Chains A and B, each alone.
Chain A
């Protein structure tokens, strides 16, 4: 039997809970409820799309996105602006989230690490684009409440030349 970590899987928040949390997040993104999405993060929560597979630091190598709460607020305010040309017309998306693996945070602080595969279909101006890769989350746990401390999006084509990406993956 595969031993996942010191802490047994039984002690972790139920897989169903985590699954529902990720599905809920995916729906919120698809419905462009950006303010609700921000509320899923802790106050010091961050969102990151690196440009390299093995990148560990957003400040020593270029990133596609690195948003703390201040930047999220700025980005969301912009997405609500009537003249955001990169979203005129707006994208329609479907997020698919799967292969969810839950493990305790190695820091032993009660947080959990979640890994999940995703694809996002985006349709905008006569063209459908597929993004895919792996989400890695650090989630804070408080009873049945989960909050995102960090979400990192590892795109399989992280170092590619991308078309404009105006929304969160």
Chain B
């Protein structure tokens, strides 16, 4: 295991050592100390809308079973029978009043209480009273606007303190729904990146890769296809030169979160059921607040360590590390509850074009993350640089620091202040 001072040597103010991406011991330590200590996003409550609905997922390497009990409460439990440790539920989602272990038939209610053991006469009464026979639960579970987070550590910041000002990004997403709620009820796209999980997260607030990484999806005017007709524009008008990213801004907060400012885009207020959605919002919030809600001043938001989402691209992205060089990513299209059908349908279809494993944008990122993983095996140069606009970050008006859009300060802050803190014993 790495001593704290060894870890200290791997993180510098403007760079991190390549071993953070290729060293399996460091990966194992991350699973124990980052995914084992921090608040980790595991699901959205709308994935289990009705009593007895369930989904299975995992946190780090540990299997989770998330259900909605008969009482309407959401239960987050380890997906492991109390008897011999068999994974209790093998299907990704469904509806069931209970779960029966396939091995010796132990039965559990949706809320994880042990409901029955076949041939119970062979067990003592004392044994049967042992609460550890019920499905075990992670140390802490909490949610914000339907986003369920788990912490495997009994100690540490509350979820509220962990999220801090990035809650405004979650609000920004949810408030766009006429009913004020989002629904993750359109399935998901899953892809494998043969690269370290941090390469996906490092990309979460990276504005200036777009004209290069996604060159092939820009038209002559540098506009990337997108919903709302318009879409982000990455070239200076009439040229093939990238736009100036710096005025867009990038923002970072305590605990590793951040968001990209708005990329320049041409809105299409006449298209895609926009008028209808807008009218619904005006009815609920009034004209001024609606204008505020619909302004796109946050492009991609990142909740460290494993969630990013887009209000305009209407999706959540969950990052699930598998191994030091292997990561699963899930993209959930986001539906706005109460929005016109046409609006949500277009959002779902648009994710297939932008973020599925066969999409036209995400595939280039994945190819590049995998090339980075390969490149980082080179011992000739040891450092991954995050030095852009060093020191230019200043307090912003959303509760953190802001910097020119192409600044890499959010990652500097993430590695120096958050990664190192949680990784240290």
Binding site for B on A (CB under 8 A): 49, 51-52, 58-66, 71, 74-75, 78, 81, 83-86, 88, 159-166
Contacts and interface: CB of A to CB of B under 8 A. Distances in A.
A111 B215 CA distance: 40
Interface stretch (B112-120, B127-135, B274-282, B356-364): B356-364
A62 B363 contact: no
A51 B346 contact: no
A62 B348 contact: yes
B368 A85 contact: yes
A160 B191 CA distance: 8
B358 A65 contact: yes
Contacts of A59: 345-346, 348-349
B217 interface: yes
Contacts of A66: 349, 352-353
B89 interface: no
Interface string B364-389: 10111001000000000000000000
B187 A58 contact: no
Given A85-B368, A165-B363, A159 B190 contact: yes
For the complex of A and B, list the 3 residue pairs with the smallest distance between their C-beta atoms, beginning with the closest.
A59-B345, A81-B216, A86-B363
Contact of A61 (B186, B192, B353, B362): B186
Interface of B: 92, 186-192, 194, 212-213, 215-217, 225, 328-333, 345-346, 348-349, 351-353, 356-360, 362-364, 366-368, 371
A163 B191 contact: yes
Contacts of A61: 186-187, 348
A164 B367 CA distance: 8
Given A78-B360, A163-B192, A165-B363, 4 more contacts: A62-B356, A63-B348, A63-B349, A74-B225
Contacts of A51: 187-189
A45 B368 CA distance: 32
Given A61-B187, A64-B189, A86-B364, A163 B357 contact: yes
A162 to B, nearest CB: 4
B403 to A, nearest CB: 27
B360 A83 contact: no
Contacts of A160: 190
B194 A159 contact: no
A84 B364 CA distance: 7
User: Chain A contact residues: over half helix, strand or loop, or mixed?
Assistant: loop
B190 A162 contact: yes
Contacts of A52: 187
A39 to B, nearest CB: 21
A159 B92 contact: yes
A71 B353 contact: yes
Contacts of B349: 58-59, 63, 66
Contacts of B189: 51, 62, 64
A58 B360 CA distance: 17
Contact of A88 (B359, B362, B367): B367
Residue among B225, B332, B358, B360 having the largest count of chain A Cβ atoms under 10 Å: B358
A60 B358 CA distance: 18
Given A78-B360, A88-B367, A62 B188 contact: yes
Residue among B186, B213, B345 having the largest count of chain A Cβ atoms under 10 Å: B186
Contacts of B186: 60-62
A58 B352 contact: yes
B352 to A, nearest CB: 4
B271 to A, nearest CB: 14
B215 A64 contact: no
B352 A63 contact: yes
A75 B359 CA distance: 9
Nearest to B189: A62
Nearest to A68: B349
Nearest to A71: B353
Contacts of A60: 186, 345, 348
A81 B214 CA distance: 11
Contacts of A74: 217, 225, 360
Residue among A71, A81, A86 having the largest count of chain B Cβ atoms under 10 Å: A86
Contacts of B363: 85-86, 164-166
Contacts of B331: 62
Contacts of A75: 360
A51 to B, nearest CB: 5
B92 A64 contact: no
Contacts of A58: 348-349, 352
Nearest to B190: A161
Contacts of A71: 353
